[in-house]
Amino acid sequence: MSPELISILALFAMVVIATLRPINIGILGFIGTFLVGTLVLRLDEKQMLAGFPADLFLTIVGVTYLFAVAKLNGTVDLIVDRGVRLVRGRTALVPWVLFGIAAILTAMGTFPPAAVALVAPVALSFAAKHGMDPLPVGMTVVYGALAGSLSPISVLGLLVSGMVGDTPGFSPMVLFVTAFVYSTLIAILTQLFFSWKNRLRGGAFTAVVADRPDGSAGGGAAPGPRVPATGNISVGGAGRGSTLTLTQTLQTPRVRTTPAQVLTLLALVSLAVGAMVFHLDIGILALVAGTLIAFIEKKHLTAAVEGISWSTILLVAGMITYISIVEEAGAIEWVANGIGSLGSPLVGVLVLCVMAGVVSAFASSTAVIAISIPMLLPLIEGSPIAGGMAISAVAIAAKVVDVSPFSTNGALVLANAQNVDPAAFYQRILRYSGVIVLVGPLLAWATLVVPFSV
């Protein structure tokens, strides 16, 4: 068996194992690096770890550390609170305000599931309070998180930029704008479709609550993947387990902004300016800013370190290190040549978009992006395809399917839905995500790649 095939089969095995078992695929990536590197490629330890992404490691540590500080000192809650107050009782605008909040959070460096975990409980509580269909409301929040997830200072945006390097035609800002516009478009189409469907039924969405075997009212959790309903905002003095609905948020006195929160907001703006205008190292800037802010409230120093997204760092570092082994084995070029043999680079990009979407519906989209982008680069090199748009299309194809109930984002919507029949709501979100898996990657290719190809 050739080294190329062995490295690809090992990669496939990692995806399957990580899908069936709750094992961080980054751990499997490091294991695969040493097994394939030692037994197949006969590399020494230094050669095997040459692909470890030290710069990206530092960047993710810094950005997630700064966000942990922002969460601990209440800056994130402040952003959510100020955002929902903007609607002034206009309920139809609330999902879009929450869309914007989720996009801002991820664009600043929050990992999408963390943003969804924070915003989704507020959105779905509001939907239950006002008799709105929780599916389009929850999906709007998810797409808001996805809209900002490929910004130049986000974890995923930095991952893609680090992998493509100076590929002609690629721009981190173009990647961000295309992802934002695409996600917004899908959210709008989702809202319009369910609004039209509700009108066909003759009125607004009607909640259906199934009774449990013990006779109590159903609702809330759903079968399938279970994710705790994290991110709820507690009500002081309320009963055990209660959460703050949007209506209650609007009725509570305005929270006084603290000096630490003002400094945090200034630090986030400075981070974006320093990175995008002056091209300074994002990781170092974020670490300095986070440390200075934490010194104001010393109680947050230890907790902020614990808030660093170590699981994300492990996933990214392990997969990129293994991808370097796959490249060393010649598998990336081998796969690209196989796709290229289809006769058209345009068709090859379509195949990669579809593959990224299908696999990402069941596996980590971050890992799928780390696998797919290196396979794309040889395919578009020297071709008439606009490289930057093809890269955006593949990255978006991997992210747009994160509404699947098998993903963290989709599972968070399931876990926080209220006043619904759990089994029926699970089936609805499963059908919706199935349509997105079929249409989303194809639409990304058709709108971002085809029009810009010569």
pLDDT in tens, 224-258: 333 333 333 332 333 333 333 433 444 444 557 88
Measured distance CA(283)–CA(2) in Å, rounded: 39
Of 426, 365, 20, the C-alpha closest to 226 is 426
Question: Which position has the higher pLDDT, 426 or 336?
Answer: 426
Q: Which residues pair with 211 in a beta bridge?
A: 217
Which of helix, strand or coil describes residue 211?
A: strand
Share of the chain above pLDDT 90, in %: 23
What's the pLDDT score for residue 242?
Answer: 32
What's the pLDDT score for residue 399?
Answer: 92
Task: Report the pLDDT averaged over residues 317-329.
Answer: 86
Residue with structure tokens 């159903």? Answer: 218
- Domain encompassing residue 37: 3-452
Domain count, the chain: 1
What's the pLDDT score for residue 226?
Answer: 36
Rounded to 5 degrees, φ, ψ at 217 are -70, 140
Q: Tell me, rounded to whole angstroms, the distance of Cα 333 from its chain centroid.
A: 28
Task: Report the pLDDT averaged over residues 252-271.
Answer: 77
Rounded to a whole number, what is the distance in angstroms from the first to the last CA of the chain?
A: 39
What's the pLDDT score for residue 25?
Answer: 84
Measured distance CA(329)–CA(48) in Å, rounded: 11
Q: Cα dist. 312→49, 59, 101, 130 in Å? A: 19, 12, 22, 36
Q: What is the DSSP string of 283-336?
A: HHHHHHHHHHHHHHSTTHHHHHHHTS-HHHHHHHHHHHHHHHHHHHTTHHHHHH
Rounded to 5 degrees, φ, ψ at 211 are -80, 140
User: Per-residue pLDDT for 221 more than 90?
Assistant: no
- 39-43, 89-93, 282-286, 302-306 — which is least confidently predicted? 89-93
The pair of structure tokens assigned to 389 is 């748009």
Of 279, 274, 284, the C-alpha closest to 59 is 284
| Average model confidence (pLDDT) across the chain | 79
Q: In this structure, are residues 62 and 312 in contact, taking their beta carbons and an 8 Å threshold? A: no
- Conformational region of residue 204, where left means phi above 0, alpha means psi within -120 to 50, and beta covers everything else: beta
Largest distance between two CA atoms of the chain: 69
What's the pLDDT score for residue 452?
Answer: 83
pTM of the model as a whole: 0.70
pLDDT, one tens digit per residue, over 275-298 is: 767 777 778 888 888 888 888 777
The pair of structure tokens assigned to 127 is 């939907």
Task: Report the pLDDT averaged over residues 332-338.
Answer: 73
What's the pLDDT score for residue 83?
Answer: 66
Task: Report the pLDDT averaged over residues 352-363.
Answer: 84
The pair of structure tokens assigned to 225 is 């993947």
Share of the chain above pLDDT 70, in %: 84
- 205-209, 224-228, 348-352 — which is least confidently predicted? 224-228
Measured distance CA(361)–CA(400) in Å, rounded: 9
Q: Cα dist. 19→360, 368, 415, 441 in Å? A: 10, 12, 20, 21
Q: Cα dist. 46→36, 42, 315, 417 in Å? A: 14, 12, 20, 49
What's the pLDDT score for residue 103?
Answer: 93
What's the pLDDT score for residue 55?
Answer: 79
User: Per-residue pLDDT for 342 more than 50?
Assistant: yes
Task: Report the pLDDT averaged over residues 295-303.
Answer: 76
Q: Cα dist. 101→93, 115, 199, 227, 267 in Å? A: 13, 9, 28, 22, 18
Measured distance CA(348)–CA(356) in Å, rounded: 12
Question: Which position has the higher pLDDT, 432 or 341?
Answer: 432
Q: For residue 235, give the DSSP letter.
A: P
Which amino acid is residue 259, in one-letter code? Answer: P
Q: Is 295 exposed, middle or buried (0-12, 13-18, 19+ CB in 10 A)?
A: exposed
pLDDT, one tens digit per residue, over 39-55 is: 999 999 889 998 888 87
Residue 340 confidence class, pLDDT cut points 50, 70, 90: low
Question: Which position has the higher pLDDT, 157 or 275?
Answer: 157
Task: Report the pLDDT averaged over residues 201-226.
Answer: 44
The pair of structure tokens assigned to 124 is 């779905």
Task: Report the pLDDT averaged over residues 192-217.
Answer: 61
